A and B are shown apart, each in its own frame.
Chain A
Amino acid sequence: MKQTYLICFLLITMGLVQTHTLQAQSAVFQIKLKEINGYYRTIGDLKGSQLTIVDFWATWCKPCVKSIPKLVELSHTYDNETVAFVGVNVDSPRNTSKVRPFAMSRRIDYPVLLDSDQALYGELLVSVLPTLFILDKEGKVLYTHEGYTTGDEKIFKEKIDQFLSDAK
């Protein structure tokens, strides 16, 4: 019986991976969150004309902290009207007070939204931190990357360039 369940779930999982059912995700653009500077924004308000890079991070997450300087550097290589970067901080109220000075010390110069109630986090079914999404102008998820290892930023750049090239 147990083997049956295992086989069923493996089949389902494999089947799901093969189906590639990603569709437009406009709901992602509609969730309004507080930005660390006090404004209330949606990802839709901050989106790029071609791509939007959304990075979920937390102050206590070691790989997130490691990835941030690389993402800041990467964001400077693109025109932010075309490719917009948005950080989404998912720290709980335990750390919320630290997020703004933390972001400033890391010189994050793209918008950072606070998602302590896990609204956007739940919408995109994030389960690992950090998770980076590349969204197209409709909000469709083109690429997802969970975790971070030094050097992953090269993969992000390749993907962004590839999607920009495809959009032309």
Chain B
Amino acid sequence: MRNKFLLICVCLLTSAFAIHAQGQIQGSNLMEYQLGNIPNQKPAYQSSLFDQLDLSYRFKSFGLDTRIEQYYPSFGEDIDYTRVSQFKFQYKSDFLDVELGNIYASFGRGLLMRTYEIPGSIWETRGYRVRYGFYRDLLGAAVTMKYNHGEVKLIRGEVLDVTLPPTLSKDIDRRPDLIEGIQGSYRLGHHSLGLIYMRHHSESQSTIDADPDRYLSVFYDGVLFDNFSIYGEMAKKLYDDVSIGDFSDEAAYGGYVGVNFYLGNFGVSLEYKDYHNFSLGTGINDPPTLVKEHSYRLLNRSTHIPSLTDESGYQVEVYYTMENGSIVTLNTSRASNQITDDNQPVFQEYFAEYQFNPLETLSAKIFADYAIDPLNNEDNRYAAGTYLDVSHSKLTSTLEFEWQYIERLDDKFSNLYAAYTLSNPSSYSVSLVMEWTADPNQFAQDTDTFNYYPAVVGSYRPNSKNIITLFAGKRRGGPACNSGVCYNVLDFEGVELRLNTRF
């Protein structure tokens, strides 16, 4: 079986090269080798190799794309695999766009359905310990037709449940959600109005052979007065016995409004959400969360995952740019649900950042953050930090320092993160990273008073087509947000070698 897959892989490559003279071919490859394990798990060192090869072929209006993934751990013979994990045919013209196979698509801003890929991410869970590419794709077809200012998009396919690894028994369906839908929109100048109708078939035990759920959504997307734009979408589940205008507790709906504008040196983004009974299938929808996605390590981990079953709230972000180029960013977000008292949010955050250049060779950022997160029993959460970037004659130094103080029930503790990076542009970089925590949930043993995570990360770019990255040390896992999606990352201790290649 493995040889068969490998043969397919080689055949695809050979064929592609044989015909590339008549078309265009490009590809990329991600290979990662790990030697190590989750800290304190035995054996301390076990090895695994993951590889993801993407190939793309284009000839005039036609295209073929394929992804081949393989995983070979030194443990668990039953969890290794080599497989063609994605295949897509496409035809594209000015009026018609057709995609068949494993595709990425969405309706509106994702209130009803959104598929995505997290760039360069490899997914692994503690339960399965199988590594595979992190993407939620749709196996089916998408057809988009455009004529003058009108556009119609038809989508039918099964959405992948990314939490289930590819090595599961064939009896378990990794694509339990089938969606069929149509989105029509008409554009007039800078204004666009659209309507979406979607049917959702779920294969969960309770709904075998049940009629599909039906949803209707309407959206407006427009730019007003050049410096003011607005997006609003209202999606609702259709019932035979509930009026479309019914927004009571029994109804299922999702509403989102985003407004942004700029005036002189001010830029503002205002958003409001209201999601009620709107967690669809295994998570096929992905509406805007209205929680800031932080690039700072400790804040990124301390995020809030909205509950689509019942949550409403807002997010405001303000930018102010000074004449000397310094930028102030202020952000606040708040979320609540019907279970808690109106004055008690399930999450609230205030964030401020100042970015400036005190010297010609020094750029700096400082930030402060305060949040409350009752869902995680965190009554108060304070954070502050700095990011300094110093240019030397040929090299660049970066210094990062972050501090966080959390009050969780009877526990009061700190987290620290520090990193120093020395880099030679477009050639190599070396980072020394240290994380330290007094969080009792992170202790290896009950008698511990702290835990720490030292690491060295080096990267080398031999040419513009290859990047080699080496990690050695201990990495703290936990929630992480990337590309708008939050997920759990496993702790790791050992050595990790990654090779990114483009061709």
Report A's interface with B, CB cutoff 8 A.
Answer: 1-2, 5-6, 8-9, 12-13, 16-17, 19-25, 27, 30-31, 37-40, 58-62, 65-66, 69, 90-98, 100-102, 104-107, 116-118, 121-129, 141, 143-147, 149-152, 154-155
Contact = CB atoms under 8 A, between A and B. Distances in A.
Interface string B257-301: 011111001011111000000000000001111000111000000
Interface string B325-358: 1010100000000000000000000000000000
Given A97-B270, A141-B26, A155-B425, 4 more contacts: A25-B24, A96-B258, A151-B426, A152-B425
B72 A92 contact: no
Contacts of A128: 119-120, 467, 500
A90 B117 CA distance: 11
B503 A17 contact: yes
A127 B30 contact: yes
A22 B25 CA distance: 7
A38 to B, nearest CB: 4
Contact of A145 (B74, B325, B464): B464
A142 to B, nearest CB: 10
A73 B17 CA distance: 40
23 contacts: A9-B53, A9-B70, A13-B29, A17-B466, A22-B26, A60-B293, A60-B294, A60-B484, A93-B109, A93-B114, A96-B231, A100-B267, A101-B268, A101-B317, A101-B319, A105-B265, A105-B267, A105-B327, A106-B321, A124-B26, A125-B502, A128-B500, A144-B465
B457 to A, nearest CB: 13
Interface string B19-59: 01001111111110000000000000000010101101010
Contacts of B329: 105
Contacts, number: 224
Given A23-B23, A61-B295, A143 B464 contact: yes
A129 B20 CA distance: 28
Give the 9 A-B residue pairs with the shortest CB-CB distance, closest first.
A92-B484, A101-B267, A151-B425, A97-B258, A38-B223, A105-B319, A94-B484, A38-B190, A23-B24
Indicate the member of B28, B398, B423 with the most A CB atoms within 10 Å: B28
B319 A16 contact: no
A93 B110 contact: yes
Nearest to A39: B190
B391 interface: yes
Contacts of B451: none
Contacts of A20: 503
Contacts of B429: 149
B64 to A, nearest CB: 12
A149 B287 contact: no
Contact of B116 (A62, A96, A118): A118
Contacts of B293: 59-60, 94-95
Nearest to A15: B13
Contacts of A9: 29, 31, 51, 53, 70
Contacts of B302: none
Contacts of A122: 65, 104, 117
B354 to A, nearest CB: 13
A125 B295 contact: no
Contacts of A22: 26, 503
Interface residues of B, number: 98
B295 A97 contact: no
Nearest to A103: B267
A106 to B, nearest CB: 7
A59 B53 CA distance: 27
Given A38-B223, A127-B28, A27 B72 contact: no
B105 interface: yes
B426 A145 contact: yes
B407 interface: no
Nearest to B325: A69
Nearest to A123: B56
Contact of B260 (A98, A121, A144): A98
A141 to B, nearest CB: 7
B499 interface: yes
A125 B426 contact: no
Contacts of A98: 260, 269, 317
Contact of B120 (A91, A123, A127): A127
A97 B260 contact: yes
B217 interface: no
A97 B503 contact: no
A59 B481 CA distance: 13
A154 B425 CA distance: 9
Contacts of A117: 104-106
A94 B20 CA distance: 39
A34 B433 CA distance: 39
Contact of A5 (B70, B110, B190, B391): B70
Nearest to A10: B31
A5 B321 contact: no
A150 B63 CA distance: 37
B483 interface: yes
A94 B52 CA distance: 27
Contacts of B187: 40
Contact of A118 (B63, B117, B231, B482): B117
Contacts of B412: none
B331 to A, nearest CB: 9
A102 B267 contact: yes
Given A125-B56, A126-B119, A93 B288 contact: yes
A12 B500 CA distance: 13
Contact of A101 (B54, B260, B391): B260
A93 B58 contact: no
A27 B425 contact: no
Interface in B111-138: 114, 116-117, 119-120
A38 B222 contact: yes
Nearest to A141: B26
